[in-house]
Amino acid sequence: MSDQKRGFKTPFDHSTRFAQKRLHLGVCGSVACYRAADLLRAWRGMGMHVSATLTPGARRFVTPMLFESLGAAPVYEDMFSQGQEIFAHLEPGQHAHAMVVAPASADALFRLAHGAAGDMLAAQALAFDGPLVIAPAMNPRMWAHAATRANVALLRERGAHIVAPACGGTACGDEGEGRLAPLHDIFLAALKALSPQDMAGRRVMVTLGPTREGWDGVRFWSNPSSGLMGAALAVCAWLRGAEVTAVCGPGVRARMPQGIARRDVVSARDMFAVAAALWPQMDVGMFTAAVADFSPRPLGGRKFKKAEAPQGFSLDFLPNPDILQNLAEQRAPGQKILAFAAETAPDMNALLPLAHAKITRKKADLLAANRVNSADSGFASPTNSMVVVDANGCEEIWPTQSKADVAWELCSWLLRM
């Protein structure tokens, strides 16, 4: 299923780490319930098994056949539907690794919070003792009501993860907080519920994307980095429980969850200033940004005119601060550093000596090098082929895989160090 057809994309769309995981999806009566179909497509596209329950209200908007045709199995309806297993209300709790209710109506929030069991979805939730993700959607005044807020607070107190509604216009014409959260936030919240929380308690900083070094009023020196590799690492660390701050160069469009703090910068010096201020509070630094090593000497805020140099012209370049090396030299005991190297080597074996030389020079704990002159591991590619080395002399050559899977393996390697 293409990203365009399912309406949203994230840095973890192509991960294989969740294949064969089992998720149960509850869909409640809300105008937004048709959007649950896109969530189902996304999870199914990752190889996950998804079952679903549609409340009577949801079935006024969408049909069970829609969810069955998109691969949900089984699709539950009423508690005592003809032909249904007598203990169907217990099955998600016996088989699913996580449960998501999206959208969740105000009435559903009440029933979930107070342990009602008079309908199929409420009974399934009451019998489910795994991670529960809830994405409410309703009229803004209903969402703001004290009763709704009390139900949400009770659910949070019991461990449910609430993906809060977004602000904006609703189907009824009102404006305010109540719209279903962006689908990528709900999608990633489900993946977090399915992920080991082995990075919980760690604070992680990720630098990602390009930098832009301006030289006149409208032009700049840069590179085509999309920041996708760094975004995959930021999302991976967040999925696994870390507190993540992403320092993003210009043009980084990768969708990251609300739980990741984002700091946007433009130039290499901007990135250095922000990263240096954050670094003393961090446990891990992941330096994936394609930072310009040099910047042109600025010509001022005016636009340089072609008529000023009909025979061509030259620019003077000045060195930028080396973010990785400077922060590595300032690190406190226990801080870990993951570095990246973008190279134009002829093959993967030729990357090994370059990687070993750079990890020694930069004083990193782990370094991943890729060939940006290769179609399957260059800038903006969804995949990477990596050479990985660590400070203990270990080395591996990884085959082409999604950047999400690369991120997962790199986080796991760091945890072992």
Distance CA 415, CA 196 (A): 12
* pLDDT tens for each residue of 116-153: 999 999 999 999 999 999 999 999 999 999 999 999 99
Catalytic residue numbers? 172
Q: What is the DSSP letter of 37?
A: H
What is residue 377's predicted lDDT score, i.e. its pLDDT?
A: 82
Pair 160, 182: CB distance under 8 Å: no
Distance CA 343, CA 360 (A): 16
Q: How confident is the model at residue 2 (pLDDT cuts 50, 70, 90)?
A: very low
Q: How confident is the model at residue 417 (pLDDT cuts 50, 70, 90)?
A: very high
Pair 410, 204: CB distance under 8 Å: no
What is residue 7's predicted lDDT score, i.e. its pLDDT?
A: 63
Average pLDDT, the chain: 93
Please spell the DSSP secondary structure of 296-337, one letter per residue: EPP--SSPPPGGG-TT-----EEEPP-HHHHHHHHPPTT-EE
* pLDDT tens for each residue of 47-86: 999 999 999 999 999 999 999 999 999 999 988 776 677 7
Distance CA 72, CA 93 (A): 16
With a pLDDT cut of 90, the percent of the chain lying above it is 82
Q: Is 3 annotated as a binding residue?
A: no
Distance CA 45, CA 367 (A): 31
Strand partners, 247: 207, 263
Distance CA 30, CA 61 (A): 8
Q: Is pLDDT at 5 greater than 70 in this prediction? A: no
Q: Which two tokens stand for residue 2?
A: 């293409």
Q: Is pLDDT at 290 greater than 90 in this prediction? A: yes
Q: Is pLDDT at 295 greater than 60 in this prediction? A: yes
CA nearest neighbour of 111 among 65, 56, 68 = 56
CB atoms within 10 A of CB 307: 6
CA end-to-end distance (rounded Å), the chain: 37
More confident residue, 42 or 378: 42
Q: Is 224 annotated as a binding residue?
A: no
Please spell the DSSP secondary structure of 189-248, one letter per residue: HHHHHTS--TTTT-EEEEEESB--EE-SSS-EE------HHHHHHHHHHHHTT-EEEEEE
Query: To the nearest 10°, the Cα dihedral for 299, 305, 311, 314?
Result: 20
Residues 6+ apart with CB under 8 A from 313: none
Pair 236, 404: CB distance under 8 Å: yes
Q: Which amino acid is at 157?
A: E
The verdict on whether omega for the bond into residue 140 sits within 30 degrees of 0, i.e. cis, is no
What is residue 301's predicted lDDT score, i.e. its pLDDT?
A: 82
Q: Is pLDDT at 182 greater than 70 in this prediction? A: yes
Total residue length of the chain? 417
Q: Which residue is listed with tokens 């630094």?
A: 285
| Number of alpha carbons in the 13 Å side-chain half-sphere of residue 75 | 19
Q: Is 358 annotated as a binding residue?
A: yes
Pair 100, 24: CB distance under 8 Å: yes
Strand partners, 401: 384
Backbone angles phi, psi at 195, to 5 degrees: -100, 150
Report the phi/psi class of residue 262: left, alpha or beta, with left for phi > 0 and alpha for psi in -120 to 50: beta
Q: Is 321 annotated as a binding residue?
A: yes
- Segment of 148-152, 214-218, 309-313 carrying the highest mean pLDDT: 148-152
What is residue 231's predicted lDDT score, i.e. its pLDDT?
A: 97
* pLDDT tens for each residue of 221-240: 999 999 999 999 999 999 99
Q: Is pLDDT at 400 greater than 60 in this prediction? A: yes
Q: Which two tokens stand for residue 346?
A: 């002829």
Q: Is 293 annotated as a binding residue?
A: yes
> Is the model's pTM score more than 0.85?
yes
Average pLDDT over residues 40-44: 97
Q: Which two tokens stand for residue 386?
A: 């990596």
Q: Is 239 annotated as a binding residue?
A: no
Q: Is pLDDT at 6 greater than 70 in this prediction? A: no
Q: Is pLDDT at 4 greater than 70 in this prediction? A: no
Average pLDDT over residues 272-279: 98
CB atoms within 10 A of CB 109: 27
* pLDDT tens for each residue of 91-112: 999 999 999 999 999 999 999 9
CA distances from 101 to 23, 187, 225 (A): 11, 11, 36
Q: Is 336 annotated as a binding residue?
A: no
Q: How confident is the model at residue 15 (pLDDT cuts 50, 70, 90)?
A: very high
Q: Is 220 annotated as a binding residue?
A: no
Q: Which amino acid is at 313?
A: F
Pairing relationship of beta strands 395-402 and 383-390 according to DSSP bridges: antiparallel
Average pLDDT over residues 305-327: 91
More confident residue, 198 or 348: 198
Average pLDDT over residues 240-262: 96
What is residue 82's predicted lDDT score, i.e. its pLDDT?
A: 67
Strand partners, 24: 51, 99
Q: Is pLDDT at 369 greater than 60 in this prediction? A: yes
